Structure 1
Amino acid sequence: MSPSPPSHILIIGGGICGVSTAYFLSTHAARSSSTKITLLEGTKIAAAASGYSGGFLAKDWHGSATASLSAMSYDLHAQLAKEFGGEKWGYRTVDTLSIETDATRKSKRSSPLPWLADGLVHSSRSLGSHNTTAQVHPGQFTNFFSAKFLEQPSTSLEIGTATSLKLDENGSPQSVEYVKSDGSKSDMEVDTVVLAAGPWTGTLAEKLLGDKIGGKLGVQGHRAHSVVLKTKDRLSATCLFTSMTMEDGSAGEPEVYARPDGTTYICGAGDDEPLPATAAEVSPSPNAISKLHKQAKALSDVFSTEKGVEIVAEQACYLPIADRGRPLIGKVRGVQGVFIGSGLSCWGITQGPGTGKVLAEMILEGRPKSADISKLAP
């Protein structure tokens, strides 16, 4: 235990990192019964990438800086699924393939999957097995553990946007001002703050901590697009990373994740735009969505209207990209009682639960114990 346990911990951001931090703080054995925990979210839980990303998980695809965190968090996903019933949020292990397709010339290779178009796949190799890759529906996961967090004593969820942070004479958090959804302002007395606002973390940090400290915590957003399609027949438990050449010679690299609910999530980049002020203002590019539909149909006729496919969603989200090229996880330098968990890029769903667990350990025990995050210090 730290010398004096926190009185009130505020986590800003209702995505997978913020919710996981809130959950693991609320259930940690070292948590004092007097410690209040509040989750502050601008719109709704999983309003951004945590609600609209693919939910692909990989255990051993990571560089040295994040390898320990990723492996721990991948195993943590499995533990949580076993404890609470992962089918509630679409957890399952999967096979993962890399395939190269070329519609301009016919392949003599047999298709690696029965639902891929014959004569299309020119090369195929395994990237992961049921031991090393898995998937979740990230929005369902994040909402489930938000509810679990709120089942714990002295916990709450506030809808609002943080506008300023007041520090005491020792440089520790004293209160946070925030604007509620109805436009009214309110103050919340706190002594510990966690910044976990996804791609908005950079602007939030600068707003609350100023340019000298917060300006060094740069996190920006990169827009990614996706479509969710429901096929007539359920596809195999497989995730695909593709390199496609279309009939017209155009190229694409969509990722294709078949889900256990009978839907398939297909995503790709393209038509990036500056990050809007709020998650509610994020919208997809019609051109990027059209490209994804075209690529899906070229990959397999199971994604065609002739085969009865149903379009469930056409959407976009912004991945949180740290300026330093690696996640920012830990205690913020130059100020007391402020922590950060952001910038996890495309690995936010894999690393999110682990990020929450190590932040809870740092706040309540003084150091991370479950993973080595020494190269991720902000």
Structure 2
Amino acid sequence: MSPPVAAPSNILIIGGGIAGVSTAYFLACHPLRSASTKITLVEGTKVAAAASGKSGGFLAKDWHGSATADLSAMSYDLHKNLAEEFGGKENWGYRTVDTLSIETDATRKSKRSSPLKWLPEGLVHSSRSLGSHTTTAQVHPGQFTEFFSSKFLEKPSTSLIIGQATSLSLKDDGSPKSVGVNKKHGSDSDSEKSSEDQHIEVDADVVVLAAGPWTGSLADKLLGNKIGGRLGVTGHRAHSVVLRTKEELSATCLFTSMTMADGSAGEPEVYARPDGGCGAGDDEPLPPTAAHVKPSASAIKKLHGQAQSLSPVFTQDQNVEVVAEQACYLPIADRGRPLVGKVRGVEGVYIGSGLSCWGITQGPGTGKVLAEMILDGKAKSADVSKLAP
């Protein structure tokens, strides 16, 4: 029989995206959490500032490799359960969807019927189902993350600090003692570090690294290259435009292969959320913080052109509203699969990062299993053994 897990006194999670917020929430409401355990969430800019606020919010239950299949299926079902418990349809746009792969070619007319009424006849040359209402869904990820951040802060002995984690102090036994944070003051949390910032030491005997694409550089800074260097996570930039159409679109997500009228090609993904969305990726070096992420004007222009080529509902003639033109960085682990679990070589440090394009699907499940590892001593809800850092 395993010995009981010693209850931590101070748990600190670094990163206010979906993985970090989910970890904080599931720790705060875990039945084994001691009433005296303090839980602190540290975020550099604002909750859901990066991909968790700007991605398409697509969820898939069974599209995953063997290493992440169990986590993904559990987390997909967890999304459904949370939506039923907390009114996800109203509070963060949860809904199940059909998902199609389509090929379009504007240079030649197709004889196939359009698979959707909002796609023009003669444009779609092939179409096949990738997922149904039982296997694919969507959320507004920013609204989800903000909602559960608020739920976390409703629990006793919880707090959110806006600031940059800068250092990790260890006890004599090598476990965490405190984390140094440059705490942001004032209302402009996206500004550069100023004289108003205050350096504080936050007590922490357990630390969770969940800083998305910045996790790799953070781990190197806090843990040193010998340990932190093994936790390589960086970012790949993805662009999106959010368009609000006059016509209500069907609950359908599209993975496309497009040929435009000028012969140019593209593969944008279209997420017909209640608030719209269209996205594609490119690459540029990861900036220092989420506040420094800027979209490429040419990439945004290309997305608008692709959207307009796909359907007239995305044109100014149909009074489309441009809600957002944006970019974010997907967290990519160097080893090609996520890092979820206890960090080897140092006691009391955990990581949940590198979820790539599946961060929204896997985020709640990642938070749940990390909470179990910390308070139960092992992951109970999903097999994440192949994701051990």
Q: 2:193: which partner in 1?
A: none
CA contact (8 A) 2:15 2:211 kept: yes
Q: C-alpha offsets along residues 133-178 of structure 1, whole Å, 9 cap, x if unaligned? A: 0000000000000000000010000111010001111110001111
Q: 1:173: which partner in 2?
A: 176
Q: 1:229: which partner in 2?
A: 243
Does residue 259 (structure 1) correspond to residue 273 (structure 2)? The answer is: yes
Please give the residue correspondences for 1:296-335 in structure 2 after superposition, counting only pairs within 5 Å.
296-335=307-346
TM-score by length of structure 1 reads 0.98
Q: 2:101: which partner in 1?
A: 98
Q: 1:268: which partner in 2?
A: 280
TM-score by length of structure 2 reads 0.96
Question: What is the distance in 2 between the residues matched to 1:199 and 1:255?
Answer: 21
Question: What is the distance in 1 between the residues matched to 2:226 and 2:300?
Answer: 40
Question: What is the distance in 2 between the residues matched to 1:264 and 1:116?
Answer: 15
Question: What is the distance in 2 between the residues matched to 1:2 and 1:296?
Answer: 56
Q: Residue type matched to 2:384 in 1?
A: I
* The one of 197, 202, 222 aligned to 2:211: 197
Q: Residue type matched to 2:126 in 1?
A: S
Q: Residue type matched to 1:227 in 2?
A: V
Question: What is the distance in 2 between the residues matched to 1:98 and 1:175?
Answer: 49
Q: 1:141: which partner in 2?
A: 144
* The one of 348, 354, 359 aligned to 2:359: 348
* The one of 167, 186, 201 aligned to 1:187: 201
Q: C-alpha offsets along residues 8-33 of structure 1, whole Å, 9 cap, x if unaligned? A: 00000000000000000000001111
Does residue 76 (structure 1) correspond to residue 78 (structure 2)? The answer is: yes
Aligned-CA RMSD value: 0.7
Q: C-alpha offsets along residues 298-338 of structure 1, whole Å, 9 cap, x if unaligned? A: 00000000111010000000000000000000000000000
* The one of 85, 95, 110 aligned to 2:113: 110
How far apart are 1:269 and its partner, in Å? 1.1
Question: What is the distance in 1 between the residues matched to 2:343 and 2:115?
Answer: 48
Give the SS at the match of 1:22. helix
How far apart are 1:2 and its partner, in Å? 3.8
Q: Residue type matched to 1:159 in 2?
A: I
How far apart are 1:3 and its partner, in Å? 3.6
CA contact (8 A) 1:2 1:364 kept: no
CA contact (8 A) 1:240 1:257 kept: yes
How far apart are 1:264 and its partner, in Å? 1.4
Q: 2:50: which partner in 1?
A: 48
CA contact (8 A) 1:165 1:177 kept: yes
Q: Residue type matched to 1:310 in 2?
A: E
Give the SS at the match of 2:276. strand
Q: Residue type matched to 2:332 in 1?
A: I
Q: Residue type matched to 2:19 in 1?
A: C
Q: 2:371: which partner in 1?
A: 360
Question: What is the distance in 1 between the residues matched to 2:199 and 2:28?
Answer: 27
CA contact (8 A) 2:5 2:375 kept: no
Question: What is the distance in 1 between the residues matched to 2:359 and 2:140?
Answer: 13
* The one of 66, 69, 77 aligned to 1:67: 69
Does residue 123 (structure 1) correspond to residue 131 (structure 2)? The answer is: no
Q: 1:35: which partner in 2?
A: 37
Question: What is the distance in 2 between the residues matched to 1:189 and 1:356?
Answer: 21
Where in structure 1 do 4 or more consecutive aligned residues deviate above 4 Å?
none
Give the SS at the match of 1:153. coil
Question: What is the distance in 2 between the residues matched to 1:366 and 1:55?
Answer: 31
